Amino acid sequence: MLKKIIKSIIIIAIILVLALSGNIMRVLAVTESDLNDIQDKIDSTKSDIDDVEEELSTAMQQIRSLNAEIADYENEIADLDTKIEDVTNQITETEAQLKQAEEDYNEQEVLLQQRLLALYESGNTTYLDVLLSSKSITDFISKYYIVSEIAESDRNLLEKMEENKNSINETKQMLQTSKEQIEALKASKEDTANSLKSSQAVKQSYIDQLNDEEKALQEELEQFERDKKAIQEELERIAMENNGGSPVIPGEPSEAGYIFPVAGLNIYNINRRYYPSYPGHTGVDININVTGKSIVAVKDGTVVTSTALRNSNGTYRSYGEYIVIDHHDGTMTLYAHMYPNSRRVFEGESVVQGQVIGTVGTTGNSTGNHLHFEVRINGRCVNPLPYLQ
């Protein structure tokens, strides 16, 4: 519908220009004043087009912004779930340590009680009495050694009991802190979940305002969001698996050593050099409408994804033809909307920096030939611009 209205306005503008000139031949011989009048009409028409486009796309812009907001909330909830799981495991481990420490302390306390009982039952007998009752020098030395060992054992027992008592108190404090932390995390998750529900409700109110053509476009965007979420989860899994189950903290972007992902181009070929270029955009778009350009690996790595996202009818959707490379430094790069069947590398293959991996195209959710490029850390998107400076 939007395209039809814009086309209608353009046609009207052309007719208006021809009408002002009288006929086609006269258009070629207009005066400077006529040209100024025509330019004014064109500028006015362009302004009308912009107004119509803005009016028709307001709901779509709001939905796109809300999609980004919803994705952020979902990521935040996922992070909180991970933290809650970590703290829960920590509580379980701390409780086990506390139980063991208390059992050790109780056992030592029983030993001490038995020792005190033995001393009591022996009456007023002291270590000196034991030594003086020796029958020979050999017996004296033997008893002296035993007494020394008993005294040392008593000291060790008392010291160990004191250590365990302190350990129990520290563990109890840790346990209390962890329980308070998990309550705070759960409260934060509940707040975030409420914000998520609110954003989803507002988004639905905008969806209800869309016409049929816009609803079809909205469904494409929704599918794209579902695909992006699935891809993120899969890349997070791969990252954790490749990194031994723990998140990696990579170095500074300037240390990554990337080259530019399109051969012969540079950062000035990025159409919008800020991030995100619009709400929900997870990468940068390189040189809109360039065709036939080679896409290269920005750094050595291993291909973890090389596929094409298609609808049930065979048409491309979302990222279209795309590739993901793990650079084994905590970062991954994603190259999307490639030309049909132009992918030259596949999952499991090693690539070297500068190797051609495909061709710039416009498959999937794309309006013109360009490369959509992303940098991901632990599977999640980050600003790619610092990596391309």
Q: Tell me what the pLDDT averaged over the chain comes to.
A: 75
Residue 314 host element (H or E): none
pTM of the complete model: 0.56
> Over 60: is that where the pLDDT of 24 sits?
no
Q: 99-153, pLDDT tens digit by residue?
A: 877 777 777 677 666 665 665 555 545 555 555 665 665 555 555 555 555 566 6
Looking at the chain, the whole-number percentage of residues with pLDDT higher than 70 is 72
What is the maximum alpha-carbon separation in the chain?
A: 141
Ordered domains of the chain (ranges, CATH)? 211-388 (2.70.70.10)
pLDDT for 325: 96
* AA identity, residue 181: Q
Confidence of residue 17 (pLDDT cuts 50, 70, 90): very low
Rg of the chain over Cα atoms, rounded to whole angstroms, equals: 37
DSSP code string of 136-194: SHHHHHHHHHHHHHHHHHHHHHHHHHHHHHHHHHHHHHHHHHHHHHHHHHHHHHHHHHH
